[in-house]
A and B are shown apart, each in its own frame.
Chain A
Amino acid sequence: EDKVVQSPLSLVVHEGDTVTLNCSYEVTNFRSLLWYKQEKKAPTFLFMLTSSGIEKKSGRLSSILDKKELSSILNITATQTGDSAIYLCAPNIYGQNFVFGPGTRLSVLP
């Protein structure tokens, strides 16, 4: 059975802090791993990772995949209140199908 675990499930920080969100997976036919940010409504795409060890960056956010450890991390530096959201990781398992983790709920306090 395909399984995705995210940790922590919930995190409260203050503006300016740096956070690291973790995703580990046990899935068949792994192709890629995606990170999404979900605020009040639809998840919005952040990163797609296909190769181990290659960091993807977008502003204060960065992510990296470790295929040997079957895991990925999402880093957010200098957090802002606008970073408050649920962060979802989703390995692509076959074809165009994804298995979503439960998400990490990040709350950034002013």
Chain B
Amino acid sequence: NAGVTQTPKFRVLKTGQSMTLLCAQDMNHEYMYWYRQDPGMGLRLIHYSVGEGTTAKGEVPDGYNVSRLKKQNFLLGLESAAPSQTSVYFCASSYPGLVEQYFGPGTRLTVT
């Protein structure tokens, strides 16, 4: 099992450009999440999904969109990147219930 994978690992964007980050999991997890991690601020939830075809906003959703067309994939889109979106992005997945989340390796995004 690959677990949770993220594509790409690194990306540099210019302000105003768009991009999509892909998260894939092979554990048949129902729930998937996108977080961003900034120095000194821990992980903050951007969007999450409790099942195929459903998405919901987290703590910091502005400037991002998501889609969950297939159970194993969760896409995070930036329509018009801003320097404030420079961060490390982590995807995670889990089963329902009192269980842990499994994290992907992260994507380091720099917006200039």
Complex contact B100–A41 (CB within 8 A): no
Contact check, B98 vs A48: say whether CB atoms are below 8 A apart: yes
Contact B40 A102 (CB under 8 A): yes
User: Does A95 interact with chain B (Cβ within 8 Å)?
Assistant: yes
Name the residue of chain A whose CB is nearest to the CB of B41: A102
Q: Given the interface contacts A97-B58, A100-B42, does A45 sit within 8 Å of B98 by beta carbon?
A: no
* Chain A interface extent, by class: 20 to 34
Q: Does chain B have a CB within 8 A of A4?
A: yes
Closest to B100 in A: A45
Chain A: minimal CB distance from B88 (Å): 9
Decide yes or no whether A58 CB sits under 8 A from chain B: no
Residue A80 lies at the interface, judged by CB distance under 8 Å to chain B: no
Q: Would you call A101 and B42 a contact (CB within 8 A)?
A: yes
Question: Which of the residues B44, B90, B94 comes within 8 Å of A42, measured between beta carbons?
Answer: B90
> How large, as a class, is the contact surface on chain B?
20 to 34
Chain B's closest residue to A47 (CB) is: B100
Q: Which A residue's beta carbon lies closest to that of B95?
A: A96
User: Which of B67-75, B78-86, B102-110 is near enough to bind chain A?
Assistant: B102-110
What distance in Å separates the Cβ of A50 from its nearest Cβ neighbour in chain B? Answer: 6
Q: Which of A9, A42, A96, A99 contacts B48 (CB 8 A)?
A: A96
CB distance from A45 to the nearest CB of B (A): 4
A16 at the interface (CB under 8 A from B): no
Can you give 20 contacting A-B residue pairs, CB < 8 Å? A9-B40, A31-B98, A34-B101, A41-B105, A42-B90, A42-B105, A42-B106, A43-B103, A48-B100, A90-B43, A96-B48, A96-B96, A96-B101, A98-B45, A99-B59, A100-B42, A100-B43, A100-B44, A102-B40, A103-B42
Q: Which 6 pairs across A and B sit closest by C-beta, in order of nearness?
A: A42-B103, A100-B42, A100-B43, A45-B100, A102-B42, A41-B105
